[in-house]
A and B are shown apart, each in its own frame.
Chain A
Amino acid sequence: MPSLKPDVSEALRYLGAQNAPENLCRQTAEMAETIASSIQPRYTYRIYGLEFQSGGVALCGTNIVLTGASASKMLGECQQAALLACTLGTVFDQRLTAFQARDMAQAVLYDACGSAFVEAGCDAAVAELAARFPDRFLTDRFSPGYGDLPLSLQPDICAALDASRRLGLHVTESLLLNPVKSVTAVIGLSDRPQKARIRGCAYCQMRNTCALRKGGKNCAT
């Protein structure tokens, strides 16, 4: 896997500091380097066939049913879906604790870079998936908690991916992922182009050819 780095502007966005002064931008960029030199996101994914049921979208070969309108809408034109889990691991948590004990200002930078970094890990996983299936079209990735997709799916998703063994990723009783910088997500695979409903045009495979975009509109709504 090539070495990944957090997106600095995304980290600044997490800090609520889009218009940050230059020295804060520089500090954030330095922190992004620091984290990337010591940690890399780990991810795992599996692909499942879909079965559309009255209660939601079932993933074949598992006990998982993605209930709610959001999943049905996102996966409506898909034949398969990938489950994805990505984490920075407990080493991130340990270092965040150490930063918090040393220097809270550095700690919030580290935390924001961590959030951006786990997203970068998900992006890399999706890129890998797209490269493996060049003739398929991917939906945006969406996670439990998005729309009406329930958080209560977390334990089953992690179990299906064997995430505790493969990634050291656990789900707490209150349905939080632990280590803290972790994401689970669903990505639909379709035989026709998919709208960029969540992440917007910048991430869309069709951004250069999209008719809506040429007309100054987008498909997000």
Chain B
Amino acid sequence: MQLDIFQNKIVLLDGAMGTVLQQKGLPPGGHPELLNLTNPDFIRSVHRAYFDAGSQIIYANTFGANALKLDGTGYTVQEVIAAGVRLAKAEAGPEQYVALDVGPLGTLLEPMGSLSFERAYELFAEMAVCGEKTGANLAVIETMTDLYEAKAALLAVKDCTNLPVFVTMSFDEGGRTFTGCTVSSMARTLEGLGADAIGLNCSLGPDKLAGLLKELCENTRLPVIAKPNAGLPDPVDGHYDMDPEAFAEALLPCLEAGVTLFGGCCGTSPEYIQAVRRALEGRSPAPRHFWSGGFVCTPTNPLRLDDIRVIGERINPTGKKRFQQALLEDDLDYILDVAIQQEDAGAEILDVNVGFPGVDEVMMLPRVVKKIQSAVSLPLQLDSANPDALEAALRVYNGKAAVNSVNGKPEVLTRLLPVVKKYGASVVGLTLDEAGIPQTVEARLEIARKILETALSYEIPREDVWIDCLTLTVSAQQEQAVETLRAVRAIRQELGLQTVLGVSNISFGLPNRGLVSQSFLTQALSAGLTLPILNPNQTEMMDAVFAFRVLSGADVQCRDYIARFSDVATAAQPVQSAGITLEDAICKGLKADAAKLAKAALETGDELSLVEKRLIPALDRVGEGYENGLIFLPQLLSAAQAAQAVFEAIRASIAEKGGAPVKKGTLIVATVQGDIHDIGKNIVKTVLENYGYEVLDLGRDVPPETIVQAVVKQGVSLVGLSALMTTTLPAMEETVRQLRTLPEPPVTFVGGAVVTPEYARQIHADYYAKDARESVEIAKKVLE
């Protein structure tokens, strides 16, 4: 199919299949795709009716024909799709086209569900390959509510076929999908990934979609699709409330917004398409208005680069012993914590670098990306010298990322720019090449031009090219500070590109570094720096950004500045009065005080006695209060977290000295297979960790085999299992059974809402833990 068929032209798609089937008496649910094989004449008649009504592209009856949904039906994906595409093709005349229809898989992807991104990709790839083989002219991915799932599907179609591909997603009136994805995040991400047209379908009537479609058109250069419902369904009888004429009338504002491909979803039928055809007759596409500034995003957090955006630099092992230790110990929770601190400190993008000797970056970078994205919504800048690691991380990143970095060396550009293009990322170009870092502004500008031109030749849009003019240490090359500032100004003025600088490097080797860094930052911002890379936890650096935005006029009426500094008086948890003891700080859950007092205690005492003589007794005091009903769960956990701050101080102290970490014993915890509720297990983990145990958390929905393997590999002697629902208890029983077959079976303890002491005995678990507090008692008995 030629792409020009749907470029700058009004194109009619089809209406609903399911609605027509239900009108003919098919009960809801079930597998309408099987009718391709069991009642082909009927499916053909629906396609015929749509072509007769004026549809130029119709969707084959393959929406749910994926291996997950067809499991147990006795039919294969190949059979159902082949039949579906052939039926539709049989009705298609000249200049009428058939799309392979690809709907959601019907189960949630990680991190909300347990289906991995990679497995989703395979399932979609199977559909796409079948569709192309049986003659579909294009693929349509529709009704998506999870951008990650849409990405898996789009990559599968692009990687495995040559079909043009449309993607449409479903939004509520507030402009979000069920998973919180915004319209602009969707548009920028999917265009970046190479969709041929994008749009909205289902969920609302055309009257409610026009505003969202306008926003969509402002965020993409691609043709835009509208395939709305016939209004809203009546809860009593399920009928949609818009008739064909009203539906077609309400689509006209969508045309004005820039839509060129029109069809219908739930509640529509061939009559609706006829009405749309009549309404659009003689009309032409409306002019489009694209906002062409820089942009990065996650699904829930679209970030226009129309202001200064601070890039947090702390996810980087260079010169940070504690971070290096976390990487080598596979402690991803620590890395997540570093991400969270920077988000809370006001970073808007996070640089992610995990390059360190002994770390396999190709494995680690994507894992860290997934981990951070499970709890932090900031867009990421993936930072590595290893192109394979960057590609692996871009693949699993949810949204539109940035890549740090390329430079003027031809071999680097030709290796990385195709990857940047494929995944629709932005890219940082360093102004250096084979000859090193040029000493003059003109030479740096020349390299920047070369990077930009090469990127454009790969069809990377101009706004996705960011230039880093390189900060050199002022104490070593003093004259270069001014050159860097001049280069930033020239890049902004002559090329109009986003500018990046790692600011902190300027002050290396000088006393009072903060002052030099802050002064340089202010000058660089003034020269036109838009994306400073810095440590957002250093308040003076963030303060300088806020002050600059006041002076530049970006902070209208100084609102952000005033909000920042009026907050200072009531900062989250101020350190309390001097008289408080470490024990009190822990019991009252005062994290900041506990950390400060622990640091003070470590100046005079050793780590082990701090744990044994002060921390544990304080936690025991809290635990007793909890058992006696004087203290409740949130308070118990606050105390645990204050203890965590003490432990963090201890770890930092040990990492500095290069000694062995204080560990009182290791155990494994997991939520059993099939169970997705893991807050109970996480509570147990939090409390155990703050008694000094090392807790290997295998997560939720963990198969028995994985737990057995982990026990063997780690040589662990205690395993805690959690299950919330009666339907997942058999998985707990099976896990305990398998663990007991080991030559040296670990001690097991079980808990969770539906688990009882009797049940624990019945499945031969060694202990029943009624709550987190009891797990500590069990750990003490078994591990000490």
Contact = CB atoms under 8 A, between A and B. Distances in A.
Interface stretch (B346-354, B454-462, B536-544, B722-730): B722-730
Given A93-B112, A172-B674, A176-B675, A45 B235 contact: yes
Given A105-B634, A165-B170, A170-B107, 6 more contacts: A15-B633, A91-B180, A111-B679, A132-B236, A145-B726, A174-B731
A17 B112 contact: no
Interface stretch (B475-483, B598-606, B637-645): B637-645
The listed residue with most B CB atoms (<10 A of its CB), out of A104, A109, A156, is A104
Contacts of A151: 725-727
Where chain B touches its partner, the secondary structure class is loop
Given A44-B235, A176-B674, A104 B637 contact: yes
A174 B724 CA distance: 11
A105 B638 CA distance: 5
A89 B377 CA distance: 17
A210 interface: no
A45 B731 CA distance: 33
Interface in A35-55: 44-47
A198 B680 CA distance: 27
Nearest to A107: B679
A176 B635 contact: no
Interface string B422-453: 00000000000000000000000000000000
Contacts of A176: 674-677, 725, 727-728
Contact of A159 (B30, B589, B731): B30
Chain A interface size range: 35 or more
Interface string A13-24: 001110010001
Contact of B300 (A45, A94, A97, A107): A94
A63 interface: yes
A79 interface: no
A34 interface: no
A90 B377 CA distance: 14
A46 B676 contact: no
A180 B634 contact: no
A145 B27 CA distance: 25
B695 to A, nearest CB: 13
Contact of A174 (B30, B178, B727): B727
Contact of A164 (B106, B636, B679): B106
The listed residue with most B CB atoms (<10 A of its CB), out of A16, A100, A103, A168, is A168
B686 interface: yes
B417 to A, nearest CB: 33
Contact of A90 (B107, B178, B236): B178
Contact of B637 (A20, A108, A167, A174): A108
Interface of A: 15-17, 20, 24, 27, 44-47, 61-63, 89-91, 93-94, 96-98, 100-109, 111, 132, 145, 151, 156, 159-160, 162, 164-165, 167-168, 170, 172-176, 178-180
B238 interface: yes
In order of increasing CB-CB distance, the 9 nearest A-B pairs are A168-B178, A159-B29, A174-B674, A105-B637, A17-B632, A101-B375, A105-B638, A104-B637, A105-B634
Nearest to A99: B375
Contact of B28 (A101, A105, A162): A162
A62 to B, nearest CB: 6
B568 to A, nearest CB: 21
B113 interface: yes
Nearest to A82: B235
Contacts of A111: 679
18 contacts: A17-B632, A46-B236, A94-B112, A94-B179, A98-B340, A101-B336, A102-B340, A104-B683, A104-B686, A105-B634, A105-B640, A107-B637, A108-B637, A145-B726, A159-B28, A160-B29, A168-B145, A174-B727
Contacts of B178: 89-90, 167-168
Contact of B676 (A27, A102, A106, A180): A180
A109 B634 contact: yes
A172 B176 CA distance: 24
The listed residue with most B CB atoms (<10 A of its CB), out of A45, A62, A101, A162, is A101
Interface in B705-742: 725-728, 731
A102 B170 CA distance: 31
Nearest to B639: A105
B474 interface: no
A159 B22 CA distance: 13
A111 B724 CA distance: 14
Contacts of B246: none
Interface string B620-664: 000000000000111111101100000000000000000000000
B649 to A, nearest CB: 18
B362 interface: no
Contacts of A93: 112
A27 B375 contact: no
A102 B641 CA distance: 10
The listed residue with most A CB atoms (<10 A of its CB), out of B146, B178, B333, B682, is B178
B679 to A, nearest CB: 5
A62 B336 CA distance: 47
Contact of B112 (A20, A90, A106): A90
